[in-house]
Amino acid sequence: MSAYLQAGALSRSTRFENDLRGALENRGFAVHRVDWETAAEHGWDHAVPPAAEFGRGSVVLLWHPESVAHRRDFEDLLRQSRPKGQEAIAAGARLIVVSAWPKLSFPEPDGSSIIADCSRLRPISVDAVRLRSMRPDLEPAAAERIVRFAGGTVALAEYYLELEFAELSGNEKLRRAGQFLRTVLLQAVDELGVGMLALLDHLILECDMLDLPEDNLADHHITALESACLLWVNDLDGTVHLFAEPWRAEVKDCLGSALRSVVSPPADWEVLARKMFTFERTVRKMVMEVLHEVHGDAWREALGDRGTKALGLARNDTNVSASSLDEMYTPLDWFLLEDLLDLAAELATAHGMVHGVRVGEWARLKVQMVPIRNRVAHMRLPMETDAATVRSALLNLEARMKTARNGATPALPSS
């Protein structure tokens, strides 16, 4: 059996490792912690005892693989972890990968990785009964209050419980609780990684959505956020809820703070930018070919107000001396993408299609691609699906252009 424990900031007690070890040892397991730094420096054969030493009654904790994520050979380490992990499992041991990161934050190595094989362990939820078993002198009402404000999370419940019995004024307790909440939320959000941060940016800061239908979120996002204790699923009505109610006042500020600290481009940004470049210039090429085919040398006249707008942009940005569109040779280079796609749609309306792409498709491309283009242009974090969307759209256009070149469909249908 292999499992992944996403031990994010909200799930970790102050003595997390001791608590985890203790819980396993109380169940009769012999616990072996394996450090990734040791594997990285000395190899997996050194870091993991021979399988014969495990066998029954063992739990192997692969401890915080993200500690070596900065290494160039990190993917190789992930790949090499799998045979050793499988040997231990085959010998009867249980294997738990413990990490603060969501599972999907880890890169895909050339082979498989032990992380990819793992099933998910759900985070522990603290309830009033559990709290009162830890502190029998805790009043039931206070226990309920703590659980509600902690959202059932271990880190907050532990701190609030401590505060409950601290010799401090009510205001001071409130102040410290608020401060701790903010610290932990910042850490929890930071641990999610850039991809999830982009999603939360979109949902919360752009769309103001903290409660939404489950179908509006991809399952793997639900899983990652749920494991981070930042999302709850209501299976009865099919809704999901981000950030427990008592935290929501802090959320936007925490998110904003986390986003502001991101200065390096995500791994897939370069691919996205390149594909976006190719997509937009491909559309320009397609539109130009049709403009030439229909209007000949008078193609600039067909640009209308959009052409004038392009001229204005060019003159603002450069030293171009053109005083009219007639003197511009690449006016489409100054078109906003939405204007370019609108122009393509108009041409498709007037002539049936443009290189096999009909007006409806141009409209759909506008809805899909303009927000992505804006994210790239404004150096905002890309959404997880952006690169795939652009690649797919580009493939679609290339397929149409190939068909047109092969003569099956002309750039424009013959009238």
Partner 1 sequence: MRFDERAFREGRIPEVRQDKFLRSFRLFAEAFPTAIVHRRALQLLGSDIVDARRWDGAGDRGAWTALVRFGQVMEGALGLHREVMAFYSPDKEFQFRDFQKLNAFRERQPREPSRDLYLVYANDPLLPAKLRDWTVREPVNVVALPRGEAVPSDAPARDTAQVLLRDLADSIARQNLYEETLPVTGRDFFGRRDLLQDLATQLRNGKVCGIFGLRKTGKTSLVKELGRQLVMTSPAQRIFVLRDLEDLPSDTGEQSLALHMDLTASLLPKLRDLKLRTHELSHLTEASSVSEFRRAMQAMLGHPSSRDIQMVVALDEIESLIGKDPGHSLDRPYVPEFLGVMRSLVQENPNFNVAISGLTSSVLEAGVLYGRENPLFAWAKPYYMPPLDRAAADDLIRDVGTRMGVRWSDNALDKVFALSGGHVFLHRSLCARIADDLPRDLSSREVTAQRVASVQRSWQRGIAEQLQEMLSSLDRFYPAATDVLHLLSGTDIGADEVDRAYPSQIHHLLKLGLIDETANGYELTAFSRIALRK
Q: Which pair of structure tokens corresponds to residue 25? A: 């040892």
Does the protein bind partner 1 through residue 77 (CB under 8 A)?
yes
Q: How far is the CB of 229 from partner 1 (least distance, A)?
A: 16
Q: Which of residues 101-140 bind partner 1 (CB under 8 A)?
A: 102-104, 108-112, 116-117, 119-120
Does the protein bind partner 1 through residue 216 (CB under 8 A)?
no
Does the protein bind partner 1 through residue 84 (CB under 8 A)?
yes
Rounded Cα distance, 113 and 108, in Å: 7
Rounded Cα distance, 62 and 40, in Å: 13
Q: Choose which of 44, 63, 101, 232 interacts with partner 1 (CB under 8 A).
A: 44
Q: How far is the CB of 258 from partner 1 (least distance, A)?
A: 22
Site string for partner 1, 288-317 (x = CB under 8 A): ------------------------------
Does the protein bind partner 1 through residue 223 (CB under 8 A)?
yes
Angle 331-335-337 (CA atoms, 0-180°, nearest 5)? Answer: 145
Does the protein bind partner 1 through residue 406 (CB under 8 A)?
yes
Does the protein bind partner 1 through residue 355 (CB under 8 A)?
no
Does the protein bind partner 1 through residue 408 (CB under 8 A)?
yes
Q: What Å distances lie between residue 196 and 204, 218, 259, 261, 384, CA to CA?
A: 12, 11, 11, 15, 8
Rounded Cα distance, 323 and 308, in Å: 10
Contact 10, 229 (CB under 8 A): yes
Does the protein bind partner 1 through residue 333 (CB under 8 A)?
no
Burial class (CB in 10 A: 0-12, 13-18, 19+), 212: middle
Does the protein bind partner 1 through residue 41 (CB under 8 A)?
no
Rounded Cα distance, 306 and 359, in Å: 18
Q: Choose which of 129, 218, 249, 267 interacts with partner 1 (CB under 8 A).
A: 218
- Which of the stretches 83-91, 124-132, 202-210, 314-322 binds partner 1 when contact is defined by CB under 8 A? 83-91
Q: What Å distances lie between residue 14 and 149, 168, 300, 394, 406, CA to CA?
A: 18, 21, 68, 50, 67
Q: How many residues bind partner 1 (CB under 8 A)?
A: 60
- Which of the stretches 125-133, 185-193, 231-239, 288-296 binds partner 1 when contact is defined by CB under 8 A? 231-239
Q: Which of 264, 218, 257, 209 minimizes the C-alpha distance to 381?
A: 264
Specify the amino acid at residue 215. D
3-state SS assignment for residue 330: coil
Rounded Cα distance, 291 and 300, in Å: 8
Considering Cα of 9, then 14, then 17, then 20, what sign does the dihedral take? Answer: negative
3-state SS assignment for residue 231: strand
Q: How far is the CB of 73 from partner 1 (least distance, A)?
A: 4
Does the protein bind partner 1 through residue 29 (CB under 8 A)?
yes
Task: State which residue, 59 or 150, has the beta carbon closest to partner 1.
Answer: 59
Rounded Cα distance, 14 and 351, in Å: 68
Q: Choose which of 50, 57, 140, 413 interacts with partner 1 (CB under 8 A).
A: 57
Q: Choose which of 239, 380, 391, 410 interacts with partner 1 (CB under 8 A).
A: 391
Q: Which pair of structure tokens corresponds to residue 264? A: 């390096």
- Which of the stretches 80-88, 184-192, 304-312, 326-334 binds partner 1 when contact is defined by CB under 8 A? 80-88
Task: State which residue, 155 or 365, has the beta carbon closest to partner 1.
Answer: 365
Q: How far is the CB of 50 from partner 1 (least distance, A)?
A: 14
Q: Which residues bind partner 1 (CB under 8 A)?
A: 1-2, 27-29, 44, 56-58, 73, 76-77, 79-80, 82-84, 86, 89-90, 92, 94, 102-104, 108-112, 116-117, 119-120, 214, 218-220, 222-224, 233, 235, 238, 356, 361, 388-389, 391-392, 394-396, 398-400, 402-403, 406, 408
